[in-house]
Chains A and B, each alone.
Chain A
Amino acid sequence: AAGVIQSPRHLIKEKRETATLKCYPIPRHDTVYWYQQGPGQDPQFLISFYEKMQSDKGSIPDRFSAQQFSDYHSELNMSSLELGDSALYFCASSPRAGAFYEQYFGPGTRLTVT
């Protein structure tokens, strides 16, 4: 079965640089979620999109922005990177918003900021 695809899997950036993370949801899933998992921590919700519109916003820094495109893939743009942004970034998808369907997680993008 098709799974959530995230690219790149690993990314190394320097402070103050910009990074773009991409997420391709499972086919026919219209909702995408982004989570950030710091070292030794639980995942923290950043933002979600349903039918290309932002549906919910969590603890996402103003330096980050995201969008969902017409093909339902999503991109997380991170600017002015800080050392503290080093984390595992997960994308998850589900087939329908507003209902508590299971979220299927991608393998994550490991971002290292040096």
Chain B
Amino acid sequence: AQTVTQSQPEMSVQEAETVTLSCTYDTSESDYYLFWYKQPPSRQMILVIRQEAYKQQNATENRFSVNFQKAAKSFSLKISDSQLGDAAMYFCAYAGETSGSRLTFGEGTQLTVNP
């Protein structure tokens, strides 16, 4: 079974600074997708960014970018110019070819942004 691990239960960053959230995963599949979801206090799950495993280029969405290291099975999220609204729980998630489209989530990282 695929597993997703986020080893940082909590992180904090100063407003306007950069922070990196870590995620590792374990899989034997060759075709899969990775995602970062944000869950603010409202508890809404918001897709932040996604990465296709077959693409070598790291995904970028405005201030959010990933560092995808396929061989190391690592998928970190970098948030640049952090804003107060970035404060939330961040979940790394995996969807693979043999597990259908179901998402397997990591434990989450609670991000605090300090003014």
Question: Which residues from chain A sit less than 8 Å from chain B, CB to CB?
Answer: 31, 33, 35, 37, 41-45, 48, 55-56, 58, 88, 90, 92, 94, 97-105, 107-108, 110
Question: Which residues from chain B sit less than 8 Å from chain A, CB to CB?
Answer: 32-33, 35, 37, 42-47, 50, 52, 91, 95, 99-108
Chain A interface, DSSP helix/strand/loop, else mixed: strand
Total contacts A-B at CB 8 Å: 64
B66 to chain A, nearest CB (A): 15
What 4 A-B pairs are tightest by C-beta distance, nearest first?
A: A105-B45, A42-B105, A100-B33, A56-B100
15 A-B contacts (beta carbon < 8 Å): A35-B103, A42-B91, A42-B107, A42-B108, A43-B105, A55-B100, A55-B101, A56-B100, A88-B43, A98-B100, A100-B95, A102-B35, A103-B103, A107-B44, A108-B45
- Among A42, A99, A101, chain B packs the most CB atoms within 10 A around the CB of A42
